[in-house]
Amino acid sequence: MATVYTPKECARKARKIVLPQANRQIVEEFIAILGMKEKFEEHDVPIPNKVVMYGPPGTGKTLTAFYIAQRLELPLIIARLDAIIHSHLGETGSNVRKIFEFAKSSPCVLFLDEFDAVARTRDNNDEVKEMARVVNTLLQCLDEFQGDSIFMAATNLENELDHAVWRRFDTKMTFGMPDAELRSEYIRLLIGDFARAEGVMQPACELLNGCSFADIEQIVLKAKRKAIIESRSLTFGHIRDAFGEYKPKIAIPV
């Protein structure tokens, strides 16, 4: 029902993460608070333990879960949606409870992607009564989620989340397509110490405007393969050809 990653594995996954300043500040504050539990308890201020991330696919939501697990030195448990959702919704509610109980049994970061599949608003669902039971179970699990574990959820459809579920999250992070500064930083990280020709960065950054981080990664990797095949340094031509072959769906330019 879930895949478990050790903190060391999380560190490898998150080594090339690039976060916009607003999200980096949220993450740093979140981690700082968790490191000052006694002081917050002394002032009777609740400790945050639930994070919801929303935005288009490929913009760093899953990577952020790896990064936070690494920083907290906790294992990351990624719940498999296909194993949770059952044709009988009553079984789905039971599976939701099981995964939360498992996460509470030992400190970890529990991550659920495509969260809207189990947290969709109860107002406009074809199976309102049955889906309402699943959402009610989820609400109970969120209310009872205490201890040293963290729950993180990600969705591309934040407007379809049930309002009561939305209110249960003490930390919310918005993700979007990378701007020029973030694209440039990410391309540099991806190229790393791979030999490259002069003048690659600027045109590559412009070409990849509107691409997600996931698209940029695949395009740069494809360009590197082309350079290796030709036994040459990476050129803008390699990136341009890789872009043409990969055919990313371009979002509104930033």
**84-93 contacts at long range (C-beta below 8 A, 24 or more positions apart):** 84/1, 84/118, 85/117, 85/118, 89/127, 89/130, 89/131, 89/133, 89/134, 90/130, 90/133, 92/118, 92/134, 93/133, 93/134, 93/136, 93/137, 93/138
Write the single-letter amino acid at 222: K
- One domain, residues 156 and 202: no
Q: How far, in Å, CA of 59 to CA of 231, rounded? A: 32
Q: Which residue has the higher pLDDT, 54 or 254?
A: 54
Domain of 242, in residue numbers: 180-246
Residue pLDDT, tens place only, 213-226? 999 999 999 999 99
Alpha-carbon separation of residue 23 from 2, 29, 173, 176 (angstroms) = 26, 10, 6, 11
**Higher confidence at residue 45 or residue 161?**
45
Task: Looking at the structure, tell me whether residues 152 and 194 fall in a common domain.
Answer: no
Q: Which of 174, 207, 236 is the last residue of a domain?
A: 174
Q: Which amino acid is at 252?
A: I
pLDDT band at residue 2 using 50, 70 and 90 as cut-offs: confident
Quick check: is 251 in a domain?
no
Check: pTM over 0.95? Answer yes or no. no
Q: Letter for the amino acid at 197?
A: A
The total number of structural domains in the chain stands at: 2
Please check whether residues 151 and 196 belong to one and the same domain. Answer: no
At 200, which CATH number?
A: 1.10.8.60
Residues 136 and 229 placed together within one structural domain of the fold: no
